[in-house]
Structure 1
Amino acid sequence: MMSEPILVIMAAGMGSRYGGLKQIDPVGAHGELIIDFSIYDAMKAGFKKVVFIIKKANEADFKEAIGERVSKLIEVDYVYQELDKLPEGYTIPKEREKPWGTGHAILCCRELVDQPFAVINADDYYGQEAFKVIYNFLKEAQDDCHYRYAMVGYTLKNTLTENGHVARGICELTKDYKLQSICERVHIAHHEGQVQFLEEETWTPVSENSIVSMNLWGFTPSIFGELEAQFKPFLDQALVSNPQKAEFFLPSVVDALIQADQASVDVLHSKDKWYGVTYKEDKPSVVKAIQTLQNEGVYPTNIWEGK
């Protein structure tokens, strides 16, 4: 039986490095957000439902900026990622404001998502090809002796910013383009003339041609049980070692499943260039890139006109 894939968009991040709610900052000529172009591309690929993960406090602003507009074009639902969404017996550390991370964000969707689904960040531009390949994968996705997941990979050098550091999942691949391992590096930047990551005050070079995850994943619903199983051990450690900032990363959960030989992850490729807004200074280059794509006819000048 073929599935009807769902698109899940993570938009609950606080945008601390950006200095504001970057998910609803326009980049298009008619006030479009990056998220508009992602939804446009997803609909074109075949997606018919989108689930937004947001913070309850941002709900009114988010709906005004994007939700109400796209709800006329595609089925829309909302999930709230809140700090107090914790397993029984756990409490929020005093003064903690930072969300619990991407793994926790997806876990919050468990009650709403019952089909294979794609995951994206709200503030990343992935390109049309990425949505086509992930949709086609999910349409046929079915677990067997392994969980059958997928990821769209990008080349590291195409995902960096000149305006600061970025977090990326650095991937190792098998010869047949399966994910062998993925390690989240939270501080990658140009340093001393090359691409390096910083960890515990030590800079380590990394190949600029490394394949990285930009959080464009394809999952079957089996991921929810695994997220739940790994979240408690994460909390047990995090609440002691780093109660204010520790994050439950989605790639770390996937990597653990690969190492345990429970999951097989196809690494799909998109030839489109990735664009993102990590810092305010990144915005002009994204605006220019979108304008160029519209000039080239990849997108209409006003993507929702006549829809």
Structure 2
Amino acid sequence: MTLLLMAAGSGSRYGKLKQFDDLGPRGEFLMEFGISDALNNGFDHIVVITKEENQKFLDDHLRKRLPANIKLDVLVQKLTDLPHGTSFSGERQKPWGTAHAVWTARNVIDGPFAVINADDFYGQSAYKNAADFIRAHRNDNTFALVGYMLRDTLSTHGSVSRGVCQVEGDNLLSVDERLKLEPDGDKVKDLDSGNSYSGDEHVSMNFWICKPSIFEKIESEFRTFLADKELGMKSELYIPKTIQEMLQAGEIEVKVVPSEGDWFGVTYSSDRENAVAILQEKTEAGKYDSPLWK
């Protein structure tokens, strides 16, 4: 089983590259805890998508730590990585988005895989539930979202963006991207739209379980995207949007797999203290070895 980590962000609100911040008790990166949880649940292939200037460092860093039997691919998300026969002549500095990050791995993944953000902590049970789902659905085209409750994914230091999900039973119906969610008493308010939420809604934290069929869909969307010069200048391709289009076209089913664990992220620099404390506490409780890698 493959775990794909997206680590090509710039950390603009955090103030530095949070993917490489030494948050663990022995200076471990946050992504290393996710990788460890994945390996403990049967994942044996790690794919990391990063920037070109970080590729060698990250490849060296992880190869020194991962067991020898674990396959590792550290790939670069490039602005020049375009579908055959397409081109882009405008000026752009930001990556093409999370869907393009996933598409970057199209030549190294040929089976079911999980996708996560490298700068989020998802909880040990989330990886177990994801692995169980992959084993149960290895030969079909069913995707999944490992879901969290909105109220459990907020920051006390500023607004956050979340994909708010409509769910029926264990079936995902839709994902509505909300970009400025903040606590509002016992509710959650979206500052952009004015919408109010109870906080008990499922949200996407970009922990997806995908099949290789997504690569063809992303490429098709990317071709359409590049044909629109305005989109190509500043917009991005997002995983939830791609999966939702596949879902609405009847190409796939998408199940919601409960995480049954605790999530935290480091959106703002002020989130760092909390992250360090949680990882220290979990390590002292024996949930993680220290050092993490032997």
Length-normalised TM-score, structure 1: 0.89
What residue in structure 1 maps to residue 176 of structure 2? 183
Q: Determine which of 271, 291, 294 is the counterpart of 1:282.
A: 271
Taking the aligned partners of 1:83 and 1:92, their CA distance within structure 2 comes to: 11
Structure 2 CA distance for aligned equivalents of residues 171 and 90 of structure 1: 34
Gaps of 5+ in 1: none
1:195 aligned partner = 188
1:217 is paired with a residue whose SS is strand
Distance in structure 1 (CA, Å) of the matches to 2:221 and 2:48? 23
In the alignment, does 2:169 pair up with 1:169? no
Contact kept in structure 1, 2:86 and 2:226, CA below 8 Å: no
Cα contact 2:225–2:231 (8 A) shared by 1: no
Q: Does structure 1 residue 256 correspond to structure 2 residue 249?
A: no
Identity %: 38
Q: Which residue number corresponds to residue 240 of structure 1?
A: 230
Give CA deviations for 1:106-130 in whole Å, capped at 9, x if unaligned: 1111111111111111000011111
Number of the residue aligned with 2:292: 303
For structure 2, the 5+ residue unaligned runs are none
Give the Cα–Cα distance (whole angstroms) in 1 for the partners of residues 39 and 65 of structure 2.
14
Alignment of 1:94-105 (within 5 A): 94=91, 96-105=92-101
Q: Once the 2 structures are TM-superposed, how far is the Cα of residue 271 of structure 1 from its aligned partner?
A: 1.8
Moved more, 249-258 or 54-63: 54-63
Aligned match of 2:114:
118
TM-score normalised according to structure 2 size? 0.93
Q: Select which of 87, 95, 103 maps to 1:90.
A: 87
Summarize deviations over 1:149-192 as a string: whole Å, max 9, x none. 111000111111111222211111112x1101112222222358
Paired with 1:80 and 1:209, the residues of 2 have a C-alpha distance of 37
RMSD (CA atoms): 1.9
Distance, in Å, in 2 between the alignment partners of 1:71 and 1:83 is 32
Hey, what's the Cα distance between the residues in 2 that align with 1:80 and 1:92? 20
Tell whether 2:146 aligns with 1:152.
Answer: yes
The amino acid across from 2:249 in the alignment is: A
- The one-letter code of the counterpart of 2:207 is L
Indicate the SS of the match to 1:115.
Answer: coil
State the number of aligned residues.
293
Letter of the structure 2 residue corresponding to residue 89 of structure 1: T
Identify the residue that residue 49 of structure 2 maps to in structure 1.
53
Amino acid at match of 2:90: P
CA 1:256 to 1:164, structure 2 compared with 1: closer, same or farther past 3 Å?
Answer: same
Cα drift, residue 143 of structure 1: 5.4
Deviations 1:216-264 (A, max 9, x none): 1111111111111122223334x315723x1101000111111112110
Shift in alpha-carbon separation, 1:98–1:191, aligned structure 2, 3 A: farther
Partner residue, 1:226: 217
**Equivalent of 1:70, from 66, 72, 78?**
66
Residue identity matched to 2:137: A
Q: 1:193 to 1:179 in 2, by over 3 A?
A: closer
* Correspondence for 1:43: 39
User: What is the rounded CA distance, in whole Å, between the counterparts of 2:155 and 2:136 in structure 1?
Assistant: 35
Q: What are the residue-to-residue correspondences of 1:20-31 with 2, within 5 Å?
A: 20-31=16-27
The residue matched to 1:70 in structure 2 has which SS? coil
Q: How many angstroms does 1:20 deviate by?
A: 1.3
Q: Distance in 2 between matches of 1:63 and 1:109?
A: 15
